[in-house]
Structure 1
Amino acid sequence: MSTREHIVRGFKATLVARAIYMISSALLMFVLARYLLDPDGYGALYWAIGILAVVQLFADVGLGKSAARYISEYRETDPGQIPHLLRSTVAFKLVVLTVVASALLVFHERIAVLLGDPSAAPFLAAGVLYITVNSFNVFSQIAFQGFNRLEYSAAVQAIGGTARLVFAVLFVLMGLGALGALFGYIVGYAIAAVFGMAVLYYRFYRPTDPAPTYEEGLSRRLAEYSVPLTATRSANVVDKQIDTVLVGVFLTPAAVAFYTLGKQITDFVLAPAESLGFTISPNFGEQKAAGKLEEARRIYETSLTHTMLVYVPAAAGLAIVAEPFITLVFGGDYAGAVPVLQILAAFVVLQAITNLTSDSLDYLGRARARAVAKGVTAAANLGLNLLLIPTIGVVGAALATVATHSVYVAVNLYIVHTELSLRLARLGRSMAIICSITGAMAVAVLLVTPMVSTVLMLFATIGLGGLVWAVLVLVSGFVDLRDVRSVVG
């Protein structure tokens, strides 16, 4: 199977699972926000999840990504080391997870008081279970990525998303409120973790004959490489979660709901880019190890231009229809999310590039450089959040995210360029065409948006934008219809 066919197959599997996961997430978001929880309850739930995400990074560190990097390398050169790698990784994880979970159990009430909301204590106590099951849920997905068996990663993610939806809604309907929704997350991730770890054991660990000895220094390198990955992951959490936590600290649960809703919608839009980045990243390690940097460059450039062809117009359209979308789908109580979503539309483009690039840099062996960049921009993001949230409210958190992520994306692209020598002039011409297509599509959507008064009209407007975009893409010759058929078929 060629590299292209392998990527397409993995992308299809990952995209289907990501679609299941994001549809289940969208349904959960819609049902909770529209029918089951008021803005205060919705905000309380996702404020707690934001806090637990910060705790999670101490429980996971960078061991999963580090293991995946070495699995990807050794499955080609010395498969017998992989059982040793997996045993070391799980042992390290259990030790760290035990320490962090115990600390959270002992200090959860003090943490809630310190953050200014003692009522969050039950959420943090339940968080001991949350971080435990989610740790192994995520680890199994990352390990399968290292084996380049993305269909298993996809299955774990889909199972977790579906189970989370079912149990979160069930527990809220039983009268358990926002805390019940959190227990729905716990049960869903527990089911996914059991499935993922079972497949990892029976399909990859047991069938592989371990080498007589563990390669000297490999365990140390596994731990050492996790350090920059931990720094990057910590910075990612600062970027993605600390703003939500700070909104809850400085403002109200309703403000958290508005900010969270805007971010969840952008996450839904970003699912295909995340799937593509997750799919192609192991191939960069393989191509670099084989000395095929030109092939790696071609894969990255093609992926980047096609990602931007989708996400630049999507971001423009999202900003234009943000107001009718929020008020018609989620209700007028969530109108405060409109300016947040309009600002975060720019973040959609930036995060699409990041999703495509970040994991690829890890597999290219540039995790340390990316960690430095992420650390600096995350610190800047934290500072801007502390400055802007108290002064201009929830919009300040969105502005801080866009501003700092712009710098991070620029640095990531520079690092990729130093590794792969990207053809900048060719990429620039492609971006000019994409911006022209976006402008024409935006004009069409702007003309009809003022007339939108129902959900049906809203989706008709979105469909019109999609139709204009598709026609322009084909007419411009940017995409060959035969290539589309070969990928879909």
Structure 2
Amino acid sequence: MSTRDHIVRGFKATLVARAIYMLSSALLMFVLARYLLDPDGYGALYWAIGILAVVQLFADLGLGKSAARYISEYNETDPGQIPHLLRSTVAFKLVIIGIVSVLLLVFYERIAVRLGDPSAAPFLAAGVIYIVANSFNVFAQISFQGFNELEYSAAIQAISGLFRLVFAVAFVLAGFGALGALFGYVVGYAIAAAVGLAILYERFYRRYEPADEYESGLSRRLLEYSVPLTATRSANVVDKQIDTVLVGVFLTPAAVAFYTLGKQITDFVLAPAESLGFTISPNFGEQKASGKLEQARRIYETSLTHTMLVYVPAATGLVIVADPFITMVFGGDYAGAVPVLQILAGFVVLQAITNLTSDSLDYLGRARARAIAKGGTAAANFGLNLVLIPTMGVIGAAIATVLTHSVYVAVNLYIVHVELSLRVARLARSMVLIGTITGGMAVAVLLVTPMISSVPMLFGAIALGTVTWAVLAVASGLVDVRDVRSVLG
């Protein structure tokens, strides 16, 4: 199978699974926000999840990503080392998770008090099992990525999303409120982790005949490479979660709900870019190992152009229809999320580039450089949040996110350019053309937006924008209908 066919197959599987995961997430978001929880309850749930995401950093470190990097490398050069890699990674994870879990169990009440909300203590206590379940759920997905067997990663992600939806809704309906929703998350992640680890053991660990000896120094390199990955992941969590935590500290649970809702909608929009980035990144490691950097460059440039062709118009459309979308779909109680979503539309474009680029840099061996950039911009994001949230409210957190992520994306693109010698002039011409297409689409949507008075009319306006974009994209030559049919076929 050619590299292109392998990428297309992996992208299809990942996109379908990501679609299932995001659809289940969207349904969960809709049901909880619209029918089951008020803004205070919704905010309390996701504030607790934000806190647990920070704690999860210390339980995961960068071991999963580090293992995936060496699995990808040794799968090509010395497969007999892979069983040793998997064993040592799991052993390291068990020790670290055990330490973090015990500390959280001892100090959860004090953490809740220090953060200004003692009522969050039960959520943090339940967080002990949340962290364990989610850690191994993510580890299984990343390990399959290292093997470049993305169908399995996709399946585990879909399983976690479906069971999380079912059990979260069931527990809330049973009368357990926001805490019940958190336990629904735990059950969904635990089922996905169990299935993932079983497949990892049966289909991969047992596939390889272990080498007589564990390569000298490989275990040490596994830990060493996890350090920059830990720094990068820490910075990612600061970017994605610490702002939510700080909104809860400085403002109200309802403000957390507005901010969380805006970010969840952007996550839903970003699903295809995340799927593509997850799919293509292992190929960079393989091609660098075999000296095929020209092919890697073509893959990245094509992926970047097509990603921007989708996300620049999508973000523009999001700004235009944010008001009727939020108020009609989730209710007037969540109108405070409208300006948050409009500002975060800029983040959609930036994060689409990040999703395409970040994992690829890890597989190109540039995790340390990316970690430095991410750490610097995450620290700036934290500082801006401390300044802007108290002075500007919830939109201050959104502004801080967009400003600092712009810098991070610029650095990422520069590193990719250094590694792959991107054809900048060619990319610039494509971006100008994409801007023109976006302008045409925006005019069409703006003309009908004043007439939106119901949900069907809202989705009619979105459909009009989509059709206008598709026609212009094909007419410009950026989209070849035959290629689309080939991929879908």
What is the TM-score when the length of structure 2 is the normalising length?
1.00
- Give the aligned partner of residue 398 of structure 2: 398
For residue 195 of structure 1, report the CA deviation from its aligned partner: 0.2
Query: Aligned partners of 1:399 and 1:285: how far apart in 2?
Result: 35
Shift of 1:477: 1.1
Over residues 24-70 of structure 1, what are the superposed CA-to-partner deviations in whole Å (9 max), with x where a residue is unaligned? 00000000000000000000000000000000010000000000000
Quote the Cα distance in structure 2 between the aligned partners of 1:319 and 1:143: 37
Is residue 65 from structure 1 mapped to residue 78 from structure 2 by the alignment? no
Q: Does 1:144 align with 2:147?
A: no
Distance 1:244 1:307 in 2: 27
In the alignment, the residues of structure 1 paired with residue 5 and residue 15 of structure 2 have an alpha-carbon distance, to the nearest angstrom, of 15
Task: Give 1:207's aligned amino acid.
Answer: R
SS at match of 2:215: coil
The secondary structure found in structure 1 opposite 2:162 is: helix
Aligned partner of 2:299: which letter?
Answer: I
Pair 1:454 & 2:460 matched: no
How many angstroms does 1:208 deviate by? 1.2
Matches within 5 A, 1:58-457: 58-457=58-457
Tell me which residue corresponds to 1:9: 9
Shift of 1:450: 1.0
Aligned residues: 489
Distance (whole Å) between structure 1 residues aligned to residue 61 and residue 27 of structure 2: 31
CA distance in 2, matches of 1:79, 1:63: 19
Amino acid at match of 1:96: I
- In 2, the alpha carbon distance for the partners of 1:86 and 1:477 equals 46
Q: Considering only aligned residues, what root-mean-square deviation do their CA atoms show, in Å? A: 0.3
- Structure 1's unaligned 5+ residue stretches are none
Provide the C-alpha distance between the structure 1 equivalents of 2:440 and 2:426, rounded to a whole number of angstroms.
Answer: 22
- Secondary structure, in 3 states, of the residue corresponding to 1:209? coil
Question: Separation in 1 of the partners of 2:382 and 2:481?
Answer: 45
| Residue 474 (structure 1) aligns with | 474
Deviates more, 1:473-482 or 1:225-234: 473-482
Hey, what's the Cα distance between the residues in 1 that align with 2:299 and 2:87? Answer: 33
Question: Which amino acid is 1:257 matched to?
Answer: A
Structure 2 equivalent of residue 486 of structure 1: 486
Q: Distance in 2 between matches of 1:485 and 1:408?
A: 35
Quick one: distance in 1 between partners of 2:450 and 2:346?
Answer: 22
CA distance in 2 between partners of 1:25 and 1:454 (Å): 23
Using the TM superposition, give the Cα deviation of residue 478 of structure 1 relative to its aligned residue in structure 2, in angstroms. Answer: 1.1
For 1:484 and 1:189, locate their aligned partners in 2 and report how far apart those are by CA, in whole Å.
34
Give the unaligned 5+ runs of structure 2: none
Q: Tell me the alpha carbon deviations over residues 62-121 of structure 1, each in whole angstroms, 9 at most, x when there is no partner.
A: 000000000000011100000000000000000000000100000000000000000000
Once residues 207 and 377 of structure 2 are traced to their aligned partners in structure 1, the CA distance between those partners, rounded to angstroms, is 43
CA distance in 2 between counterparts of 1:486 and 1:300 reads: 19
What is the alpha-carbon distance in structure 1 between the residues aligned to residue 213 and residue 450 of structure 2? Answer: 69
Paired residue type of 1:443: V
Distance in 1 between the 2:207 and 2:457 partners? 55
Q: Deviations over 1:424-474 (max 9, x none)?
A: 000000000000000010011011111101000000000000000000011
Give the secondary structure class of the aligned counterpart of 1:399.
helix
Deviation at 1:368? 0.1
Instruction: Tell me the distance in 1 between the aligned counterparts of 2:210 and 2:75.
Output: 12
CA distance in 1, matches of 2:480, 2:351: 26
Deviates more, 1:22-31 or 1:471-480: 471-480
- Distance (whole Å) between structure 2 residues aligned to residue 258 and residue 436 of structure 1: 32
How far did residue 327 of structure 1 move? 0.1
* CA positional deviation for 1:206: 1.4
Give me the whole-angstrom Cα distance separating, in 2, the residues matched to 1:376 and 1:25: 31
Distance 2:194 2:203 in 1: 14
SS at match of 1:215: coil
Q: 2:463 matched to which residue of 1?
A: 463
Q: CA deviation at 1:207?
A: 2.1
Query: What letter matches 1:476 in structure 2?
Result: S
1:23 aligns with 2:23: yes
- What residue identity is the alignment partner of 1:153? S
Partners in 2 of 1:44 and 1:478 — Cα distance? 45
What TM-score, normalized to structure 1?
Answer: 1.00
- Structure 2 CA distance for aligned equivalents of residues 5 and 207 of structure 1: 24
